[in-house]
A and B are shown apart, each in its own frame.
Chain A
């Protein structure tokens, strides 16, 4: 089904393009909203991503994962063209969470140390702030999901995460000596 759409898109079918747009624009938009602080920037990303898809349609391969390709274009668009509007806190928690995961055995011990050290630091946070921060850091939840889960406002989540990061920032230089 999608394969046929891609083949028709490659041949220049506007109809196939529109179908793919309707199917995926929300995902591009919602993902952009996670990482960008302005709604209008997210709207721009949607436009730029699909213009890019149209412009590079000849290079598409019907066997490739189209959704995966959209992800890469979207991610690059956000980090290259719109970095000034980046939601820094959300980005930080994501990278931090990624750094705390190990990908091979060699890496494992060191990663565990890093994770333990950050856990140790976070122990010092007030319990509510720690809970909110860990939902974001360990369970990779968006601000909105956390807000729903704990029945608080999104703004509160944003503030608590900001404060937690501020605390980490203050204490992270010790990381150099301890881990």
Chain B
């Protein structure tokens, strides 16, 4: 490691100004790594450790591994969905709270982390590709008339054909029903609206009046249509969109924006990186960008956006980013 770098690193280190990349790079660099390895070798016995911890943690590990063994298969991202005849895509942004399942059957909960895409196979053979920071709840086996699952986050469903048992994704405020098709849901806890985009095929969307699931209205959605429910005003609207744009993330396993408005880009960057990006409403609809995200840091992306537009960004102490005009 060069000295100039050292001086730079020490200065930034003390000012608490290292970027994520620098920190990651530094932790894996030879001098730091060697020192850490010494610490690793010499780490003392912590007396405060609970004696039951060994078995408690092992049990938790085994539970996770059992769930994975039975329910999760890692499938090549590229081949999974090419055979699906009708595509259905649902994008939702809403505030979601779990409602208690009616039947007492045992449930699985699968979560994906930041910058992470997970594949899950449901008991009926349905494939689910989960986007970053998402949580899916589903029963050990489907019983009754409908196959019901609950999602908080973003996921693409490739539903196993079974006309007698419709497949329903439940979110607060909106139920999405499909017979045997593939579709995507985008709905995160914090967000206030639900958006559903259909690529092809047909879906029935039920707008719910309350937590008991009383249906207020139902809407049939056609391909390349987006239906939006604003949960605060309870307003429902439909508009024409190019649905294929919303599916790029699972086809390419990366975020991909083609001349998109900030209003589309920012929520997706927020989910992908697990950080808040605050941006004034008037800028959201005004600026458009084209780019793909592979393994760049959020800092890097915002930096490039700053260099190539009228926007500037700053990071606040709490980790939020703020976008504004230069």
Residues of A within 8 A of B (CB): 14, 18, 21-22, 25-27, 29-31, 33-34, 43, 46-47, 50-51, 54-55, 68, 71, 74-76, 79-81, 83-84, 88, 92, 94-99, 101, 103, 107, 110-111, 114, 140, 142, 144-145, 165, 168-169, 172-173, 175-176, 179
Residues of B within 8 A of A (CB): 1-3, 6-7, 9-11, 13-16, 20, 23-24, 26-40, 42-46, 49, 53-54, 57-58, 60-62, 64-65, 68, 113, 319
Q: Which residue of A lies closest to B63 (CB)?
A: A47
Give A89 to B306 CA distance when docked, in angstroms. 32
A169 touches B14 (CB 8 A): yes
Shortest Cβ distance from residue A42 to the other chain B in the assembled complex, whole angstroms: 9
A94 touches B32 (CB 8 A): yes
A29 touches B6 (CB 8 A): no
A31 touches B39 (CB 8 A): yes
Given contacts A98-B32, A103-B30, whether A175 and B11 have CB atoms under 8 Å apart is yes
Give A144 to B42 CA distance when docked, in angstroms. 12
A31 touches B44 (CB 8 A): no
Given contacts A110-B3, A173-B11, A176-B11, whether A140 and B32 have CB atoms under 8 Å apart is no
Q: In the complex, which residues of chain A have a beta carbon less than 8 angstroms from the beta carbon of B35? A: 94, 97-98, 101, 140
Q: In the complex, which residues of chain B have a beta carbon less than 8 angstroms from the beta carbon of A74? A: 40
Given contacts A21-B61, A142-B39, whether A26 and B14 have CB atoms under 8 Å apart is no
Given contacts A75-B36, A94-B39, A179-B7, whether A107 and B1 have CB atoms under 8 Å apart is yes
Q: In the complex, which residues of chain B have a beta carbon less than 8 angstroms from the beta carbon of A33? A: 46
A51 touches B65 (CB 8 A): yes
Given contacts A26-B49, A46-B57, whether A99 and B31 have CB atoms under 8 Å apart is yes
Shortest Cβ distance from residue A52 to the other chain B in the assembled complex, whole angstroms: 10
A31 touches B40 (CB 8 A): yes
Q: In the complex, which residues of chain A have a beta carbon less than 8 angstroms from the beta carbon of B27? A: 75, 79
Shortest Cβ distance from residue B57 to the other chain A in the assembled complex, whole angstroms: 5
Q: In the complex, which residues of chain A have a beta carbon less than 8 angstroms from the beta carbon of B3? A: 107, 110-111, 114
Q: In the complex, which residues of chain A have a beta carbon less than 8 angstroms from the beta carbon of B34? A: 98
Within the complex, which residue of A22, A92, A145, A172 is in contact with B11, where a contact is CB–CB below 8 Å?
Answer: A172
B49 touches A29 (CB 8 A): yes
Within the complex, which residue of B7, B33, B39, B54 is in contact with A25, where a contact is CB–CB below 8 Å?
Answer: B54
Give A99 to B34 CA distance when docked, in angstroms. 11
Given contacts A95-B32, A144-B44, whether A172 and B15 have CB atoms under 8 Å apart is yes
Within the complex, which residue of B15, B24, B32, B44 is in contact with A145, where a contact is CB–CB below 8 Å?
Answer: B44
Apart from A22-B58, A79-B27, A172-B10: 9 A-B pairs, beta carbons within 8 A: A75-B36, A79-B24, A94-B36, A107-B3, A110-B3, A142-B39, A172-B14, A173-B11, A175-B10
Q: In the complex, which residues of chain B have a beta carbon less than 8 angstroms from the beta carbon of A47? A: 57, 60-61, 64
A30 touches B57 (CB 8 A): no
Q: Which 8 A-B pairs have the closest CB atoms?
A: A110-B3, A98-B31, A30-B43, A98-B32, A172-B14, A169-B14, A98-B35, A79-B27
A110 touches B13 (CB 8 A): no
Shortest Cβ distance from residue A63 to the other chain B in the assembled complex, whole angstroms: 19
B14 touches A168 (CB 8 A): yes
Shortest Cβ distance from residue A84 to the other chain B in the assembled complex, whole angstroms: 8
B10 touches A50 (CB 8 A): no
Give A111 to B37 CA distance when docked, in angstroms. 21
Shortest Cβ distance from residue A167 to the other chain B in the assembled complex, whole angstroms: 10
Shortest Cβ distance from residue A44 to the other chain B in the assembled complex, whole angstroms: 9
Q: In the complex, which residues of chain B have a beta carbon less than 8 angstroms from the beta carbon of A88? A: 16
Q: Which residue of A lies closest to B58 (CB)?
A: A21
